[in-house]
Structure formats: C-alpha cells, structure tokens
Structure 1
C-alpha cells in the first residue's frame, strides 16, 4: 500500500455541491470508546449529515469497519448509503450486498478468542458474523497476546486476512476493502461524475485514499497517524465536525 504524501498538509476546502462525500465513522465522525457500543453520537451529527446528504443530492456515504446494522443503530433514524465491514457489506439507494458466509472454523476461533479475552478485563471479542474483531483499548497490555492469537488463527481461515486498526485486530474475508467500496459507489448515481472526497483516520482508510487520489479527488487524514497518502489534514473529530458544520446542526 502506497503512502507517499508529505505530512505538510493543509485543511481541506469546505464541502461543495458537486462532491461525492465518503466518511469513516470511528475516529473520524465519532470519538473512540472502550467498546464499539460505548460511543457517543452528538445529537446534531445525524441532523447535519442528513442536511448535507440532501445538499449533495444523496451523494454522501459512510464507509466503516462496523456492520451496516451497527451504523443504522448509531445514526437512527437516518439511513445513508454505507459500506460496512471495510467494504464487505454495501448498501446503496436501491440495492444491498451482504458479507460472505462465515466458514465453520470461525465459530471455534471466536470461542477461543473469548477465552483469551476473559484473562484481560475490559477487552472484547466483537462478532461481525463473517469476521471477528479483538479490541484491547481498555487494556493495552493485551495487544501482543491478541495479535499473536490472530496470527495463529489465520491459517485456519482460507481466504481471510488480518486487518490491523486502532487498538483492534480483525480476522476478516479478503474479498474487498474500503477502496473497493468507494470505487463501486463512484460507478453509480448519485455519486457518479462528482468530485470524490474521503475523510478517515485509520490504516484501513488508506485503501480509500488511494482510490480517491487516483480519481483526482480530495483525501483528508484525521489525526496524526503517519505515513498516509491523504492530501489534506484535520486535527481531530472536533475539526471534522466544524468542517462539516455539525456545530449548528443546520445546512450551510
């Protein structure tokens, strides 16, 4: 994966009416929490996303490692076009594609992962149906054991890969990534023919940055992670909210 952009990045331009806007969720729109269900959604955020989506004629999509069901719970009653599970799930205006069926071995690996997590209070094994994620944000000392477990389990899962993230490692199917999901959206209305823009914070977002950069779009790194292929930068989630106009909860 290429990541060659200079860290000397400027703030991105304000949203324009001809954008196709793609937004990561955790670490970009929402602050991290010890568990995925523990995040706080500011009441103004769904309101602003809805208004911005209308302004862009529907060309706004969430691109996340969460499942589509999790995204819908967080932003209810708003349901935007979205890619879940790092691109394995995708929902457009009139279509929906789901993740592949989990191999039989995954259930046993998930059980063994839970036994390991029981040794580290505050850690979590998240069941994503076709994938499992091992979270250790509340207990950083578990990192090496969780990573070693995932590496040892991987050979049992044909067609799977490891996905590293912020205090998490996932065992997930290798068929798609966030870049694939964004590329697919850009082939469909209302995204087709617009300026692609993608904001994200994590290593998993680099696939999306590469796709958007290749199309002459705008890529925005949130936070201080380096290296990154993103061309623009925002310091933190508060800066993302200000960029999108979340503070007022109203369209510009």
Structure 2
C-alpha cells in the first residue's frame, strides 16, 4: 500500500526546548527526510504550529511540503498560500495587548507568528505561569469565536477557528502525490488530537509521540524513536505503521 506521511515538528522530529528558537536538529535528520520523501514519491509533509519560514530555517537547505500555523498557511510544490498578518487585524490588536500585559512576567514569551500568537510559560514560576495562561485565555475570549485557543505543553496558542491540522492533512490528501494514499500522522501534543481522530476516521494511522491519553492507535516513546523510525524507513525497511506499538 502507498502511504502519505505527515509529521509534526516540535516534540516529534525534534526534542522540546525551553525556547522555540533553541531546538536542535539532529545530524542526519534532514538527509533521512529527503530520502524518505523520495521513497514516498513526494508524499511527505510537515504539519506544525510554527510558521513555514521557521521550519525552513531549521531544515535548510531542504524545502518540504508543509502546513504552518496549524494549517493557516500551506505549501505544496513550492507555493505558499495563507498566513498574511494583515488579514487578521483583530488578532493583531490582541497581540499588542499580550505583549503589554505580559511585560512584568519573568520568563513568559510571546511568540508572534503573524496570523496566530503563542504564549509560552515553560520557564516561568508558578504564579507567572498561571497569570500567562489567564492572559491568553482572556485574549482568545475577546476574539468573538473567530479564533480558538489551543492549550499545549506550557503554551497557549490563539489560531483562526477554521484552521486545524486535520483540515490541512485532508487538503493535502485531495492533491497529487498524496491523493489515494493512506495517511500516517505523527504528533505529540494536545493540539494534534483533532488530526489523530480525523486521520483514524479516514482509515489512516495516527501515532502519538510520548505519553498521555490519545485518540491515536499507535505510540512511540519520544522524538529519538521517531528519528530512528524515519532513518529505518529511509534506508528501505518496510513501511508498516500498523506494526508500531499500540497507544
């Protein structure tokens, strides 16, 4: 059977870092991804909460098909659509407010992605973390349902309500070279659960990386295991996601 492979980035391909700009791409990963993409006839895409430009920066010189900002922007065959900050004036006002209100909070990071915004409190003390979470929840509530709040690992992100990784994957699967293939999606966070459910519903295989309750049927323990799997598949071992450990 022909497969289409969809991969989250943070916590899946690379280990979670204290700051988004501090992740490390392990040697050989880019080459293995390129080899696996070739083996899959091009049907490999990254599906991330990061902007596509950030993913490119970590994986340079490679340029993969990708959905960024949880699907707000998407690139296939080199062309990017969606994700313009100027299309989100209400969100831009809340980004300014988040910067101002979080300024007194030590080690709270506002990650402005243009068409979405993430508030990180991984390095903050308990009191500041609680305040940061309250701020991002308040900002999302003021956006009148046009945006939704996604809570992850010490992060809250506000994204357009219509953008999900599930929609992004389904859109890829409507187009060559993904069409007609069985989807495999690997992700690690609460924000990936909607896509786990949709991929499973469509007959694909969802793989949760790390612990936690999940809608995925399969599980890998950590990003190191993901990288080892990609290396094995790139080297020609059988691609059999149903043989992975159960979740």
Moved more, 154-163 or 44-53: 154-163
Q: Does 1:172 align with 2:159?
A: yes
TM-score under structure 1 length normalisation:
0.86
1:161 pairs with 2:148: yes
Does residue 85 of structure 1 match 2:79? no
The 3 A distance-change label for structure 1 pair 191 and 219 is same
In the TM superposition, 1:22-171 aligns within 5 A as 22-93=6-77, 95-99=79-83, 101-141=86-126, 142-158=128-144, 159-171=146-158
| TM-score between the two structures when normalised by the length of structure 2 | 0.88
Whole-Å Cα distance in 2 between the matches of residues 181 and 250 of structure 1? 24
Contact 1:103–1:157 (8 Å) recurs in 2: no
Output the CA distance in 2 between the equivalents of 1:107 and 1:83: 21
Deviations 1:180-239 (A, max 9, x none): 00000001011111111001011111121122111211110100021x110001011111
CA change 1:26–1:94 in 2 (3 A) is closer
Whole-Å Cα distance in 2 between the matches of residues 215 and 30 of structure 1? 27
1:197 match: secondary structure: strand
8 Å CA contact 2:12, 2:222 repeated in 1:
yes
Q: Distance in 2 between matches of 1:72 and 1:182?
A: 19
Q: Conserved in 2, the CA contact under 8 Å of 1:30 and 1:41?
A: yes
Aligned to 2:111, what secondary structure does the other structure show? strand
More relative contact order, 1 or 2 (CA 8 Å, 6+ apart)? 1
What CA distance in whole angstroms lies between the structure 2 residues aligned with 1:120 and 1:155?
A: 21
Map of 2:183 onto structure 1: 196
2:221 to 235, 240, 244: 235
Greater Cα shift, 25-34 or 142-151: 142-151
Deviation (angstroms), 1:145: 0.8
What's the Cα RMSD here?
1.9
SS where residue 63 of structure 2 aligns? Answer: coil
Q: Which runs of 5+ in 2 are unaligned?
A: 237-247
Count of residue pairs brought into register by the alignment: 233
> Which structure 1 residue ranges, 5 or more long, are not aligned?
1-16
